[in-house]
Amino acid sequence: MPREHGAWGILLIPFATAVGIARTWNLQVALLLVSVMCFYVARTSFLKQDTTWTLFLLAGSAACLAPLLGVWRLWWLGALGAAAAPLAFRKSGRSLVAQLIAVAGLTLTAPAAWYATTGNLDRHAWLLWGLNFLYFAGGVVYVKMHVAAAIRRKPFETVAEKISWGATNLAFYGGLALCVVGLAMAHLIPWLATLALAPVVTRAAIGVGRLSSQLHIKRLGWTEVAHSIVFAALLILGGWRV
């Protein structure tokens, strides 16, 4: 099983937000979920060079996907899978760019789930992908800021020093806030949906103020899990009209 526990959230929460907003659970969604999970676990087997389990899991994923393509004619699922495959079956990189590419691939479960529930790969599908990508990309930036501060091993003496160290984090979340407000002003997403990102935007600012050379990685990880659950719940309850 994959040891990257945070990646499970990046994989499944976008899926859950799409299903929750569509308010639909059917056989298509269940088959897609099993297919996605088999495909994701197969990635770990592939990276560990376990050919038997890799082939078995890929066969299971394909078996669940086949009726979605052949019976329900959800052809675009094949295209989404083809886009995700090169991102999934590659060695994980630790650079910011590599992790953001991974997030982009994992969050494709949002448009895939929306397509399976509604039969449409419309603007809602891509808006949900964009919102989930921005949310989890922000998590990558935020965690990297704290990890880098711990590696630094030098106490921060002034607020200005903390702001300078967290400049990338602040810039990202400032841009994210402007982007989400812009989407709401353009009537692409409901105003209530913007509240889904309000807690993490606030956290980003507070996190810079609390920067320290000491890192409590488990506490940081569980905090990210809690924020992800809140994000999903607020996004689902965001007053979408579909």
pLDDT at 106: 93
Average pLDDT over residues 67-85: 94
pLDDT at 3: 67
Q: How much of the chain exceeds pLDDT 70, in percent?
A: 97
Following DSSP, what letter does each residue of the chain receive, concatenated? Answer: --S-HHHHHHHHHHHHHHHHHHT---HHHHHHHHHHHHHHHHHHHHHTT-HHHHHHHHHHHHHHHHHHHHTS--THHHHHHHHHHHHHSSPPP-SHHHHHHHHHHHTTHHHHHHHHHHS---HHHHHHHHHHHHHHHHHHHHHHHHHHHHHHTS---SHHHHHHHTHHHHHHHHHHHHHHHHHHHTTSS-GGGGGGTHHHHHHHHHHHHT--S---HHHHHHHHHHHHHHHHHHHHTS----
Whether 88 has a pLDDT exceeding 80, the answer reads: no
pLDDT in tens, 178-221: 999 999 999 999 999 999 999 999 999 999 999 998 888 888 98
Contact 42, 81 (CB under 8 A): no
pTM, to two decimals: 0.95
Contact 129, 111 (CB under 8 A): yes
Q: How much of the chain exceeds pLDDT 90, in percent?
A: 77
Whether 87 has a pLDDT exceeding 80, the answer reads: no
Whether 140 has a pLDDT exceeding 70, the answer reads: yes
Q: Which two tokens stand for residue 148?
A: 């880098």
Sign of the alpha-carbon torsion through 173, 201, 83, 4: positive
Average pLDDT over residues 27-55: 93
CA-based Rg of the chain, rounded to a whole angstrom? 19
